[in-house]
Amino acid sequence: MINLENSVGIVETKFFTIDEELELESGEKFGPVQVAYETYGALNENKDNAILLLHALTGDAHAAGYNSENDRKPGWWDDMVGSGKAFDTDKYFVISSNMLGGCSGTTGPCSINPQTGKPYGLSFPVITIEDAVKVQKKLVDFLGVKKLIVAGGSMGGMQALEWSITHSDMVDAVIIIASTSRLTAQGIAFNAVGRNAILSDPYFNNGDYYDSDNQPEKGLSIARMIGHITYLCEESMHSKFGRRFKNEIDGKEHPNFDFGIDFQVESYLAHQGQTFVDRFDANSYLYITKAVDYFDLAHKHESLENAFKKTNARFLVISFTSDWLFPTSQSKEIVQALIKAGRDVSFCEIESPCGHDAFLLEFETQTKIVKSFLSKSFGGANV
């Protein structure tokens, strides 16, 4: 039985359809688009107390609460969303949606192409963060929101940055956590290796595997293992696993002397890879990681400072000491560009041994910082 105490409770994932064709950043036109979303709290009469939560790479619309009494765990940011929490549902109308190209209810490569009656597969158009924001804007308009706070960690932070520039007339405040304005060459390289693992899987079949008994599970599992390494850090991996072996003989850890799973860290990564295969689509992984690779505000606007001259929002930027995927130096680059552009920005680096995943785990410290920022932004946004 699930524990509904201190939770938003049982929530329903809803669906909104954009019937028109959207012009993507590539110039291609695409539609219709179904959007999966959830909401928590109530929109006030002025329709200006909304917060849009933007998920990380493999997230979904289910940010808080439970979809049913049979759920094993709550939404991905449950500790941050609810009554009295960072994103206080007594004050705010909180929205979370699945990204374009995803596989959790929003149109993506595993969705049925209405023209063929079959999944899009690799005929799905290449998308960008800007395209994802364009879809989110349609959803927000449908919900009647007039003013908005945007908040996200990792890839969600990228979307929040794009929101602040593209829809500056609507966005009053922006919260960027463990994110960046552009991936480094190293970050792109990790994504490229993950994509190549999928593309090289013997069952990938050029993305047309949905009706097959064999799925590209091995490639997707390897891609997840590669990605998961970047979400942790040396300190957390040493603390959890060290060099400990998985097997014991006579009460002592002992190597297998073969090429199977030998160390505990190998067992952990194998588990992460398999559980990921059970919930995510290989094609979606290709499309979404490519969208992240393409994101580069400085290139798009000639400089980061120029990009932020187009926004009117207040900013909160949070980084974590052990995050080597999106290190504090990249957050500081955002902060410095915002200052040069004359924007109001607050910055905090949180001490944490959790690596990049800290934005999902260090909720107590984040709650204090976010609450303070939001209260100064809108006086609590009375409902």
Angle at 317 between CA 312 and CA 320, to 5 degrees: 170
DSSP of 335-378: HHHHHHTT--EEEEEEP-SSGGGHHHH-HHHHHHHHHHHHHHHH
Q: E strands, 19-147, where?
A: 22-23, 29-30, 33-40, 50-54, 81-82, 87-88, 93-97, 112-113, 118-119
**CA distance linking residue 87 with residue 79, whole number of Å:** 9
The sign of the torsion formed by the CA atoms of 243, 248, 254, 258 equals: negative
Instruction: Give the residue among 347, 336, 327 at the shortest CA–CA distance from 307.
Output: 336
In degrees and rounded to multiples of 5, residue 107 shows phi and psi of -55, 130
Token duo for residue 248: 């014991």
Contact 37, 132 (CB under 8 A): no
Which residues have CB under 8 Å from 244's CB, separation 6+?
Answer: 253, 263, 264
356 is catalytic: yes
Active-site residue identified among 7, 97, 154, 319: 154
Angle at 97 between CA 94 and CA 103, to 5 degrees: 155
Helices 217-231 + 282-294 axis angle, to 10: 40
Active-site residue identified among 322, 356, 357, 377: 356
Contact 361, 349 (CB under 8 A): no
352 is catalytic: no
Q: Which residues pair with 253 in a beta bridge?
A: 248
254 is catalytic: no
Active-site residue identified among 323, 331, 352, 357: 323
**CA distance linking residue 342 with residue 264, whole number of Å:** 50
Which residues have CB under 8 Å from 31's CB, separation 6+?
Answer: 18, 19, 20, 21, 22
Helix (H, G, I), strand (E, B) or coil at 58: coil
Angle at 76 between CA 73 and CA 81, to 5 degrees: 105
Catalytic residues: 154, 323, 356
